[in-house]
Structure 1
Amino acid sequence: MPTVLRISGFRFFFYSLEGAEPPHIHVERGDDVAKFWLDPIDLCESHGFRSHELNRVRLLVIQHRLSFLEAWHVHFGREA
């Protein structure tokens, strides 16, 4: 479960066995979790986050999208 970024209490990561899925990033803070597709950026699922928190997380995903994609491709052995 490689952690890609920790910022503002959020942890952004992906699971090592999800390489067959399109690039995405998981985010958690406490018991709250969400999953965002990266291309295009879209919320896949969320549990516990309130809508205003998801808006904040979405902005962080947008801001760090390129580094998330790079980490995804490096981890799963694919070129970006």
Structure 2
Amino acid sequence: MPKLWQYGPYIFFCYVYDLLNEPAHVHVRAGNAEAKFWLNPVRIAWNHGHKSDDITRIERLIHENQNRNNSSYFVIARGDSPEAIPNAD
């Protein structure tokens, strides 16, 4: 489960299995809540436990960090190790 980046309580990550079997997307976890967002175009796939305000905030963060999401995702998909990605706080 490579971590792509983090903003506050939101951890943006992907599952390696998904890289080979699904279009580009990120999972976002905060506490026990997790959601999945497709990246191109950005839209929610599913949500388990995030409040609607959190979903709005997460979607905005994904839009604001689209280049980071795409480059980190495809580096990992190639099998390379991503450089440490600092907190976006």
Q: TM-score normalized by structure 2?
A: 0.83
- The residue aligned with 1:62 is 63
Deviations 1:12-47, CA, capped at 9 Å, x for gaps: 000011122000000000001000000000000001
Unaligned runs of 5+ residues in structure 2 are: 80-89
Report the count of equivalent residues.
78
Task: Work out whether 1:8 is the aligned partner of 2:30.
Answer: no
**In the alignment, residue 48 of structure 2 is paired with which amino acid?**
H
- Map 1:1-80 → 2, pairs under 5 A: 1-19=1-19, 20-77=21-78
**Over aligned residue pairs, what C-alpha RMSD do you find?**
1.2
Structure 1 stretches of 4+ with a deviation exceeding 3 A read: none
SS in 2 for 1:12: strand
**In the alignment, residue 14 of structure 1 is paired with which amino acid?**
C
With a CA cutoff of 8 Å and minimum separation of 6, indicate the structure with the bigger relative contact order. Answer: 2
- 1: CA distance, partners of 2:66 / 2:44: 13
- The residue aligned with 2:87 is none
- 1: CA distance, partners of 2:66 / 2:34: 18
